[in-house]
C-alpha cells in the first residue's frame, strides 16, 4: 500500500472535533450514518473537484447512509473511509468495508469502554471519595482519568484508520483493543473491591456504629442480585426497596 | 421557593449534561457523580450534591449505554437529585433524611429521561426523512442540517426535562421536609447507602465475573479497602 497522503492540519482538526458529535443525529434507521458523513466532510473537500465535484457528492451520499459502531471507535472507521475515498478505492470495496466493520467496532468499543474503562473510572472516583477526597478531587479524578483515555482513543482511531485505510483490521488487533478489556476488568475488580466498602464507610461517617452490619447487608444484597441477575436488574430492585422505605418513612 | 436564577443555572447544567450523554461530546459529564455534585454546588450545598451523586453513581454502574438499547438517562435526573438533596441551610440530619427521596426521584427520572431519548431518536429519523432526497444526492448542507438539528433539539430536550424535574421535585421536597421527621437521618443514610453499595457491588460482579480469578482481584481490593479504612 502506498503511504497515506498528508492531510492539512486544519482538516485533521475539523474532522477530529466533529467526531465528538458523531452521534448528534442518532436515529433508528441510519444510526450514526449521518454523523459519519458530517465528521468526514472536511476531508472529502480534498477530493477531485472540491465541494462541487462529483466525487465529493458521491462520497457524502455513500457515507450518510446506515452505519453503526461504538462512537469512540467510529474514529477508526472515519479515518479508514477518508483514506479509501482519497485513494479512489472501488465503491464496492468501500461499501463492503462499511458493512463489515460495524459489528467489530461496536463490540470492541463496548467491551473496552462501556464495560471496562467507564466503570473503572467510576470505581476510581468512588475510591477517591471513600478515601476522603473533596468534591473537586472526586470530579477531577473521574472526568480527568476518563477523558485522557477517551480523547486518546478517538485520536488514535482517526490516525490508525487513516494510516491503514481499508486494511484497518490490523488496528483492530492492537493490544489496547485485544487485551485492554481484560486488564481493565482486573483493575476494576481491585479498585471496586476497595471502593465500595469505603464509600459506605464515608457515607455513614457521622454514625459509624453499625457499619459492620451495614457492610454485611450490602454484601448480601450484592450476592443476591448477582444470583438473580438473569431475572432482573439490580437497580430496579433498588428502586422498589427504596420506594418501600420511602413510603414507610412518610406514613409512619 | 427556588430563585429563578438558580433554576436557570440548573436548567443550563441539565441541558449541557444531557447533550453530553449521547450527542456531544460524551465526556461523561452526564454521570450522576458529576451532574449531582455540580447541581449541589449551584444550590450552595456541594457536599449534599456529592453525597447524592455518589449513591446514584453506584446505581448507574449497572446501566451502561450499549448501542441502541434503551437505558436510563442519568444527567438531568441527577441534576434534579443534587438540587433536591441540597436543602438550603439544612443540617446533616435533614440532608440525610432527604437523600432517599432524592435518589428515588433520580432513579425514576432517569427512566423518564431515557424515554425522551427514544422520542428524540424518532424525531431525528423524521428530520432525516425530510432530507432523504438531498442526502441521497450527497448534499453537504442537508447532512449539516440533520446533524445540527439533532444537537440543538437534544440540548433543548435535556434542558426542558431538567427544568420539569426541578420544578416538580423541589416543591415536593419542601412538602416532605416536615413529614419525614419520623425516620432518623442515620437510618435514611444507612438504607440508601446499603442499597447503593449492594447494587453497585452486583454490577461490578457482572462485569468482572468472566475474568479468570476475578474473586482474587475482588478480595485483594476488599483487603486493601479494609486496611485503608482501619488506617485512615
The residue extents of the domains of chain B are 4-183
Cβ pairs A/B, distance under 8 A: 336
Nearest C-alpha of chain A: how many angstroms from B5?
A: 23
CA distance B208 to A102: 25
> How many Cα neighbours within 13 Å face the side chain of A12?
15
Please tell me which residue of chain B has the smallest CA distance to A116. B207
Nearest C-alpha of chain A: how many angstroms from B67?
A: 7
Give the ipTM of the model, two decimals please: 0.96
Length, in residues, of chain B: 232
Contact between chains at B206 and A226 (C-beta distance less than 8 A) = yes
Please tell me which residue of chain B has the smallest CA distance to A239. B104
3-class secondary structure, A66: coil
Please tell me which residue of chain A has the smallest CA distance to B189. A204
CA distance A132 to A135: 9
Enumerate the β-bridge partners of residue A31.
Answer: A27, A67
Nearest to B27 among A135, A147, A217 (CB): A147
Nearest to B54 among A72, A126, A186 (CB): A126
Contact between chains at B50 and A129 (C-beta distance less than 8 A) = yes
Cell, residue A252: 409512619
Cα first-last separation, chain B:
40
Nearest C-alpha of chain A: how many angstroms from B3?
A: 24
Whether the CB-CB separation of B208 and A184 falls below 8 Å is answered with no
Nearest C-alpha of chain B: how many angstroms from A233?
A: 8
Q: Categorize the per-residue pLDDT at A211 as very low, low, confident or very high, splitting at 50, 70 and 90.
A: confident
Judge if pTM exceeds 0.90: yes
Contact between chains at B199 and A234 (C-beta distance less than 8 A) = yes
Whether the CB-CB separation of A244 and B195 falls below 8 Å is answered with no
Nearest to B197 among A147, A200, A245 (CB): A200
Cell, residue B112: 423518564
Tell me if chain A has a CB within 8 Å of the CB of B222: yes
Digit-by-digit pLDDT tens for chain B (232 residues) are: 789 999 999 999 999 999 999 999 999 999 999 999 999 999 999 999 999 999 999 999 988 777 667 789 999 999 999 999 999 888 888 899 999 999 999 999 999 999 999 999 999 999 999 999 999 999 999 999 999 999 999 999 999 999 999 999 999 999 988 777 778 888 999 999 999 999 999 999 999 999 999 999 999 999 998 888 778 7
What are the sequence ranges of the domains in chain A?
9-208, 209-252
Tell me if chain A has a CB within 8 Å of the CB of B75: no
Contact between chains at B202 and A115 (C-beta distance less than 8 A) = no
Amino acid at each position: 500500500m502506498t503511504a497515506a497522503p498528508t492531510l492539512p492540519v486544519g482538516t485533521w482538526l475539523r474532522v477530529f472535533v466533529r467526531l465528538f458529535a458523531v452521534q448528534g443525529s442518532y436515529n433508528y434507521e441510519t444510526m450514526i450514518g449521518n454523523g459519519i458523513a458530517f465528521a468526514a466532510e472536511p476531508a472529502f473537500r480534498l477530493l477531485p473537484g472540491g465541494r462541487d465535484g462529483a466525487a465529493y457528492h458521491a462520497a457524502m451520499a455513500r457515507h450518510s447512509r446506515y452505519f453503526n459502531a461504538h462512537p469512540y471507535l467510529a474514529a477508526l472507521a472515519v479515518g479508514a473511509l477518508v483514506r479509501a475515498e482519497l485513494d479512489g478505492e472501488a465503491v464496492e470495496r468501500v461499501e463492503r468495508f462499511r458493512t463489515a466493520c460495524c459489528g467489530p467496532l461496536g463490540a470492541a468499543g463496548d467491551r473496552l469502554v462501556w464495560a471496562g474503562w467507564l466503570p473503572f473510572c467510576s470505581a476510581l472516583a468512588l475510591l477517591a471519595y471513600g478515601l476522603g477526597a473533596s468534591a473537586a478531587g472526586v470530579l477531577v479524578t473521574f472526568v480527568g482519568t476518563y477523558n485522557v483515555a477517551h480523547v486518546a482513543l478517538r485520536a488514535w482511531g482517526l490516525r490508525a484508520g487513516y494510516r491503514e485505510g481499508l486494511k484497518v483490521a490490523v488496528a483492530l488487533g492492537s493490544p489496547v483493543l485485544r487485551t485492554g478489556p481484560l486488564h481493565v476488568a482486573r483493575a476494576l475488580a481491585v479498585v471496586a473491591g476497595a471502593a465500595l466498602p469505603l464509600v459506605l464507610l464515608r457515607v455513614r461517617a457521622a454514625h459509624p456504629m453499625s457499619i459492620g452490619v451495614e457492610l454485611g447487608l450490602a454484601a448480601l444484597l450484592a450476592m443476591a442480585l448477582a444470583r438473580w441477575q438473569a431475572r432482573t436488574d439490580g437497580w430496579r430492585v433498588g428502586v422498589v426497596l427504596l420506594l418501600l422505605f420511602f413510603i414507610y418513612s412518610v406514613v409512619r | 421557593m427556588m430563585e429563578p436564577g438558580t433554576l436557570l443555572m440548573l436548567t443550563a447544567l441539565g441541558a449541557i449534561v444531557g447533550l453530553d450523554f449521547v450527542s456531544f461530546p460524551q465526556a461523561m459529564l452526564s454521570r450522576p457523580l458529576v451532574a449531582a455534585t455540580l447541581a449541589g454546588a449551584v444550590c450552595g450545598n456541594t457536599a449534599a450534591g456529592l453525597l447524592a451523586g455518589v449513591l446514584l453513581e453506584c446505581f448507574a454502574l449497572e446501566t451502561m449505554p450499549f448501542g441502541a438499547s434503551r437505558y436510563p438517562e442519568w444527567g438531568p435526573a441527577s441534576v434534579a437529585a443534587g438540587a433536591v438533596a441540597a436543602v438550603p441551610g439544612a443540617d446533616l440530619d435533614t440532608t440525610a433524611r432527604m437523600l432517599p427521596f432524592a435518589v428515588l426521584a433520580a432513579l425514576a427520572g432517569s427512566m423518564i429521561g431515557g424515554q425522551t431519548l427514544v422520542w428524540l431518536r424518532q424525531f431525528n429519523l423524521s428530520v432525516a426523512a425530510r432530507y432523504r432526497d438531498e442526502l441521497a444526492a450527497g448534499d453537504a448542507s442537508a447532512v449539516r442540517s440533520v446533524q445540527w438539528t439533532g444537537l440543538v433539539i437534544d440540548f433543548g430536550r435535556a434542558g426542558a426535562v431538567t427544568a420539569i424535574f426541578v420544578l416538580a421535585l423541589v416543591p415536593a421536597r419542601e412538602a416532605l421536609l416536615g413529614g419525614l421527621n419520623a425516620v432518623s437521618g442515620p437510618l435514611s443514610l444507612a438504607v440508601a447507602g446499603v442499597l447503593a453499595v449492594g447494587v453497585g457491588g452486583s454490577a461490578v460482579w457482572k462485569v468482572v465475573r468472566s475474568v479468570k480469578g476475578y474473586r482474587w482481584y475482588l478480595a485483594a481490593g476488599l483487603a486493601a479497602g479494609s486496611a485503608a479504612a482501619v488506617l485512615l
